Amino acid sequence: MLQIFTGIFLCLYYCSDINSAYFSIFFLIREVYYGWSLRYFHSNGASFVFLFLFIHIGRAIFYGSYFYNSNTWFSGIILLLLLMAIAFMGYVLPFGQMSFWGATVITNLLSPIPSVVEWICGGYCVHNPTLKRFFIFHFLLPFVLLIFIIIHIFYLHLYSSNNPLKLNINNKISFFPFILYKDLFTLFLILFIYVFQIYFGIYSLSHPDNALEACALITPLHIVPEWYFLCQYAMLKTIPNKNAGFIILLTSILILYIYGEIRNLSVFIRLIHCNNNFIIILLFLIYIYLLWIGAQFPQEKYLSYGRILTLQFYYYHFYYLISLAIFIIIKMWIAKK
């Protein structure tokens, strides 16, 4: 809600023209009273949303929440995809150097599909129609996101929230006052860190090159997206083939849908997955290393490490897929007998 609120006020000053977008942002920062605060509330807020979103997904995987109501899990993955699309289009809007070249890299990934680049960009490259279309979708999609958030909460309340003792109604305690006090404490803690980051800038969450005006004739030394895209960007960077890299980029997110299908497995295999915390911790470490590799220069040593970690990332996920396939084959074989 804070992102939508600040975004609406930012729209009052933003101009989605290729010649004015960059200057409208800096007019807001330098000339509008507390405009810089409004702008950084919005841009830093995106980083905080993704930070706690990743923690939320990690918590759901660790506790095995996808076993009990797969609709909650599936709607959550749709929320993740929508948030990534909204964040990418929002990152392009300031039209700095990194915004322009990041948009160029991502849109060029779609070039093997006929007419898609022209349909999205309004031409053969990132230009004025691209900026206008991205601005419109960046404004409208958050309201679509709100609908999916309501659906997500609706499915969550069918069985209530999961916990370390799994889904058992005998373990539940009343929301008021116990859970409410814990939520309020967490909320104030997050807001304190959020405001501290905005007003004191304890850590730079954006690349300095994005403070420069976009120029199609000068390529940055190193094209780096925002930190929350670095894991997928590291996978894309380590794959030498563009089409294969796009498939890896897409499936690294869509592979999470496999978790929702594990509800079909037997109780024995469920217990294996629930208690296999070592592999879950390993996946977390792989994700952190890929974040680091995504921010490095594309040197051979980093590319080699990235390929190994990408293989391990998929091996961990396909461990679930193979278990599911084996169970289906055994079930079909028993039914035939």
pLDDT tens digits for range 192-229? 999 999 999 888 888 899 999 999 999 998 899 999 99
Q: What is the pLDDT of residue 336?
A: 75
Q: What is the pLDDT of residue 165?
A: 72
Task: State both tokens at 273.
Answer: 């997955």
Q: With 70 as the cut, is the pLDDT of residue 141 above it? A: yes
Q: What is the pLDDT of residue 265?
A: 53
Q: Closest Cα to residue 73, out of 252, 255, 208?
A: 255
> In the chain, where does the domain assigned CATH 1.20.810.10 lie?
1-169
Mean pLDDT of the chain: 87
Q: Can you tell me the mean pLDDT for 49-72?
A: 87
Q: With 50 as the cut, is the pLDDT of residue 268 above it? A: no
Give residue 267's pLDDT band: very low, low, confident or very high (50, 70, 90): very low
Q: With 80 as the cut, is the pLDDT of residue 79 above it? A: yes
How far is Cα of residue 106 from the mean position of the Cα atoms in its chain? 15
Give residue 45's pLDDT band: very low, low, confident or very high (50, 70, 90): very high
Q: What is the pLDDT of residue 179?
A: 84
Task: State both tokens at 121.
Answer: 């960009």
The percent of residues above 70 in pLDDT, for the chain, comes to: 90
- CATH pick for 1-169 out of 3.40.50.12780, 1.20.810.10, 3.40.50.1460, 1.10.540.10: 1.20.810.10
H or E element: which one contains 214? none
Q: What is the pLDDT of residue 43?
A: 94
Query: Coil, helix or strand for 174?
Result: coil
Q: With 90 as the cut, is the pLDDT of residue 167 above it? A: no
* Residue with more model confidence, 166 or 117: 117
Q: Could you give the CA distance from residue 27 to residue 113 in angstroms, rounded to a whole number? A: 39
Q: What residues are labeled active site?
A: 157, 161, 182-183, 226
| Angle between helix 70-92 and helix 35-63 axes, rounded to 10 deg | 150
Give residue 190's pLDDT band: very low, low, confident or very high (50, 70, 90): very high
Q: Could you give the CA distance from residue 129 to residue 108 in angstroms, rounded to a whole number? A: 16
Write out pLDDT tens, residues 89-102: 999 999 999 999 99
Task: State both tokens at 23.
Answer: 């200057």
